[in-house]
């Protein structure tokens, strides 16, 4: 048995260091990091884990599929995607999160779970009206073609994902660090009550956080539809569950650690997906979530959560 485990491990490591696997894993990590930021931003101000985040992305993907079905130009599809996702995330905040703001975390968690399944079942009803499951969103499909660099297939979308993620993160850091609303959001994430006493408007801060996380969801929707052009009602569901686990594993209390957690789990799942032998690759979720449990037991506060010192939460 030891011999078998060792040989599997060696095969895995040999496959994992290949440039192809690494590039794909980093690309997946970049997209997951963006989703982690979207979840982490809302958690910072609301202390709410948004299970329905994936359904925002799914809605955006349906908007893109709708636009490509109607033969709209690509930019119009992307505009529609942003409009739908932002409207939906704002509505979600107004109708569900705002009334529940004072409730216990358990109630809020279950509430977002309910919203997630509500949106998913709405999508299923809309999706299956024409008796086909899934709509293709083909607008940006050309990005799926690879560039060959030193014998490695680098799909254009991988580069786009990494660059977009980097740009979004820089913009976000500037926003949080240099603007008044950003400062207020950081203050609210640190201590909501005190921030309110000092004149931070709760609704405005929460509204901006929800808006920003909606923008990120729309960006992710555009990029995910390039990789998986068939949009179904469970679009982005698996990814969201994995990212949620990653965010908690990274550490929810700071945006940075949450983002790193999202990147790490995307990278790990890309690595496992690319390097596991075929016989084991169907057990990828088990490996991934086993790792999640393991890390949570060792570091329940989060892998990247700072141990001591001044805590900056957003």
Interface ranges with other proteins (CB under 8 A): 49, 95-96, 99-100, 103, 105-107, 109-111, 113-115, 117-122, 124-125, 128-129, 237, 241, 244-245, 248-249, 252, 282-286, 289-290, 292-293, 296-297, 300
What whole-number distance in Å separates Cα of residue 37 and Cα of residue 267? 15
The least distance separating other proteins from the CB of residue 250, rounded to whole angstroms, comes to: 11
Q: Judge contact between 211 and 225, C-beta under 8 A.
A: no
Nearer to other proteins, 157 or 244 (CB): 244
The least distance separating other proteins from the CB of residue 117, rounded to whole angstroms, comes to: 5
The least distance separating other proteins from the CB of residue 100, rounded to whole angstroms, comes to: 6
- CA 239 to each of CA 36, 149, 181, 247, 266: distance values in angstroms, whole numbers, following the listed order: 11, 28, 30, 12, 9
The least distance separating other proteins from the CB of residue 307, rounded to whole angstroms, comes to: 17
Nearer to other proteins, 10 or 125 (CB): 125
What whole-number distance in Å separates Cα of residue 241 and Cα of residue 218? 18
Nearer to other proteins, 22 or 234 (CB): 234
What whole-number distance in Å separates Cα of residue 25 and Cα of residue 222? 19
Residue keyed to tokens 């599809």 = 77
- CA 204 to each of CA 72, 97, 182: distance values in angstroms, whole numbers, following the listed order: 34, 14, 11
Q: Is 235 helix (H, G, I), strand (E, B) or coil?
A: coil
What whole-number distance in Å separates Cα of residue 161 and Cα of residue 183? 28
Alpha carbon 32 to its chain centroid, in Å, reads 5
Residue 295 CB partners (closer than 8 Å, separation 6+): 249, 303
Nearer to other proteins, 224 or 243 (CB): 243
The least distance separating other proteins from the CB of residue 65, rounded to whole angstroms, comes to: 18
Nearer to other proteins, 177 or 300 (CB): 300
The least distance separating other proteins from the CB of residue 127, rounded to whole angstroms, comes to: 9
What whole-number distance in Å separates Cα of residue 231 and Cα of residue 87? 20
* Rg (the chain; Cα; Å): 20
The least distance separating other proteins from the CB of residue 42, rounded to whole angstroms, comes to: 13
Phi, psi of 230 (to 5 degrees): -85, 115
Nearer to other proteins, 99 or 146 (CB): 99
Nearer to other proteins, 67 or 115 (CB): 115
């Amino acid at each position: 048995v030891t011999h078998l485990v060792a040989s599997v491990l060696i095969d895995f490591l040999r496959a994992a260091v290949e440039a192809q696997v690494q590039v794909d894993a980093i690309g997946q990590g970049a997209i997951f990091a963006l989703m982690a930021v979207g979840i982490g931003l809302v958690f910072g101000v609301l202390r709410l884990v948004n299970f329905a985040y994936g359904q925002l992305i799914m809605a955006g993907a349906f908007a893109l599929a709708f636009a490509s079905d109607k033969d709209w130009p690509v930019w119009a599809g992307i505009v529609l995607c942003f409009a739908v996702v932002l409207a939906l995330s704002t509505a979600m905040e107004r109708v569900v999160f705002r009334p529940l703001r004072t409730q216990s975390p358990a109630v809020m968690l279950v509430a977002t779970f309910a919203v997630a399944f509500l949106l998913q079942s709405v999508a299923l009803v809309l999706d299956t009206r024409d008796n086909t499951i899934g709509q293709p969103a083909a607008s940006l499909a050309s990005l799926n073609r690879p560039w060959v660099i030193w014998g490695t297939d680098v799909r254009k979308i991988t580069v786009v994902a990494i660059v977009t993620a980097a740009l979004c993160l820089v913009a976000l850091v500037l926003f949080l660090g240099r603007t008044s609303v950003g400062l207020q959001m950081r203050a609210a994430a640190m201590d909501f009550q005190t921030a309110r006493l000092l004149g931070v408007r709760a609704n405005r801060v929460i509204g901006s956080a929800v808006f920003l996380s909606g923008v990120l969801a729309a960006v992710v929707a555009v990029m995910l539809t390039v990789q998986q052009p068939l949009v179904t009602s469970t679009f982005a569901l698996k990814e969201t569950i994995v990212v949620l686990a990653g965010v908690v594993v990274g550490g929810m209390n700071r945006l940075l650690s949450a983002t790193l957690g999202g990147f790490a789990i995307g990278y790990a799942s890309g690595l496992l997906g690319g390097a596991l032998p075929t016989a084991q690759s169907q057990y990828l979720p088990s490996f991934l979530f086993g790792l999640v449990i393991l890390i949570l037991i060792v570091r329940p506060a989060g892998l990247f959560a700072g141990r001591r010192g001044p805590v900056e939460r957003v």
